[in-house]
Amino acid sequence: MQLTIIDWVVIALYFLFNLAVALYLRKRATKSVSDFFISGRNVTWWLAGTSMVATTFAADTPLVVTGLVARNGIAGNWIWWSMVFSGMLTVFFFAKLWRRAGVMTDAEFAEIRYGGKPAVFLRGFRALYLGLPINLIIMGWVNLAIVKIMMQALGVTKIEALVIAMAIMFITASISTLSGLWGVLWTDLFQFVLKMGMVILLAVFAVGATGGMTSLVTQLQAIDKTRGAQGSILSLVPDLDSTWMPMLTFFVFISVNWWASWYPGAEPGGGGYVAQRIFSAKDEKHSLLATLWFNVAHYALRPWPWILVALVAVVRFQNDPAFQADPESGYVRVLITDLPIYLRGLMLAAFAAAYMSTIGTQLNWGASYLVNDVYRRFMQRTREEKHYVLVSQGITMLLMILSAVITFYMDSIANAWRFLMAIGAGTGLVYILRWFWWRINAWSEISAMISAFIVSMILQFGFHLNEGEPKEFAYLLLITVTITTAVWLSVTYLTNPEPREILLSFYRKVRPNATMWKPIAAEATDIVPQKDGIFNLVNWLSGVVMIYAFLFGAGKIILGDTLTGLVFILVGFIFGGIIYRGMDKHGWEVISS
């Protein structure tokens, strides 16, 4: 793809603007560790929520969606659409609890929920585990995605593309180092607007180059006749007789995977950078609204521009062996053929924005664990705030260097993704119940993490269950969840509860629903018992219906079935109204009480 001098000027201006934002926010972000990592807990809901959306829109996301659609049709996206259930659970059950906890990282949570040496060990272990290997694997595959895009778009080698990617990462790390989370949040806002605008424009030009939406649908319907058992490529719900989504696998996705598996950005009960944004919110109301906006935008608004380009790629390259071997490449190929020359610089800037928004968060998030939960907790506990800020800046740059090394030796995004899915399977339930059941202790979490890792590794490498095969994935998840749950429940009952003073302190601070905290609630007579379970449940179910209705409604309208689409949209607004009315009537009082 040839670039003009104007393209290079546009790209340079994009980077200069981001650096200017970082310099402007530098003084505000470096007053303390709290300002550096959670923006002094003073962020509005729309900024925190948009930052979450921007972070999950990585450079590899449009490519992954293209691969899913090419292999399995639009319904292939149920692999991640099923996580709506988990996302809305975080909105109505956990966002307010995380904000009340008053911690800086989700690893720090261990020492307010549990006591003694097990809690100390759990905090340190989770911080190192998430901050180094997990975080570096995530950054490695994000780096690898931008490397592959650069190789294809600019015609350079992997080494040359990696050098370009590291230059972009250095700018991103500089922004994180200069301005902490404040810089990440405000540049995320700018980057999200840029990249969403450009993917929408690409979808418009790509569909137009294919003859318009009617022509595209007609051509896809013709392709359907050759797909056999795979079902219609235009179907929003998978054909349960298809080879990629048998009934068992679909059942696992919508009824087990979303609450049972830990995965970055979709942790059951919240966690990771989603929790970090919750911590940064002004108050509990802003934390709930931030996560609600994130889920609506993440699932209902973003996918369709990617899906349309993917459908164009299917029509355009269906008989191309290179596309069949690597369908994810179709997105960049459509970009090269259909995007006007005068927009190419902006599109590359948009890909850089997608890359930077994710990497910026990962750098800041990973450093928060290593500084707050390792260095400050175990090495230097009494230094001044300025010292910890300087250490945070140094660790941010170190993570950048280490991720470059990981990228150099990484060949497959999919393999890295499958590895994280495997080691996180089965742990989700304990992360949910630790908030609502007083009997959970530190050993419950520790045993769940160890058991999930061992069982999933044995099933994959001992019994050769392949997470990439639909039925084998279902068996892998069901077996891992069953064994892991049995292990951590047994450990919970075989070990002592947490000390009474720890449980009372946690209950008074966080105020979880009292139903499964009755022995502790009976002693904490100064706290009004929270009985918001039914209220939260109604909002959760309404939120799930609302998001799916908006998602399917937008899709139906785009694909030409306007009446059905409008009905879906109407249903979405009805259930959104139920949420609004409930929150306006007494929900905010429950949150602020």
Could you give the dihedral angle defined by the CA atoms of residues 204, 209, 212 and 214, in that order, rounded to the nearest 10 degrees?
-120
Which one, of 114, 177, 437, 396, lies nearest residue 125 by Cα?
114
pLDDT at 423: 67
- Stretches where the chain sits below pLDDT 70 are 1, 227-230, 241, 244, 264-265, 410-423, 468, 585-593
pLDDT tens digits, one per residue of 527-538 = 888 888 888 999
pLDDT at 588: 64
Structural domains of the chain sorted by starting position, each given as residue range(s) with its CATH number in brackets: 5-424 (1.20.1730.10), 425-493 (no CATH)
What phi and psi, each to the nearest 5 degrees, are found at residue 530?
-80, 120
pLDDT at 320: 87
pLDDT tens digits, one per residue of 246-305 = 778 888 888 888 898 877 667 788 888 888 899 999 999 999 999 999 999 999 999 999
d(CA 394, CA 183): 16
- What 8-state DSSP symbol labels residue 43? B
pLDDT at 527: 87
Copy the structure tokens of residue 73.
Answer: 């049709």
DSSP symbols for 502-557:
HHHHHHHHH--BSGGGHHHHHH-TTSPPB--HHHHHHHHHHHHHHHHHHHHHHHHH
Residue type, 485: T
pLDDT at 520: 95
pLDDT at 590: 54
Asked if 86 contacts 266 with a C-beta cutoff of 8 angstroms, the reply is yes
Instruction: For tokens 């610089």, name the residue.
Output: 345
* Planar angle of CA 136, 82, 38, nearest 5 degrees: 45
- Residue 397, classed as helix, strand or coil, is helix
Handedness of CA 208, 210, 211, 217 (dihedral sign): negative
Please report the beta strands in 101-246, taking only residues with DSSP state E, as ranges in sequence order: none
Asked if 289 contacts 278 with a C-beta cutoff of 8 angstroms, the reply is no
d(CA 589, CA 583): 8
pTM for this model (two decimals): 0.90
Tell me, letter by letter, the H, E, C secondary structure of 285-332: HHHHHHHHHHHHHHHHHCHHHHHHHHHHHHHHHCCCHHHHHCHHHHHH
d(CA 553, CA 551): 6
Asked if 433 contacts 268 with a C-beta cutoff of 8 angstroms, the reply is no
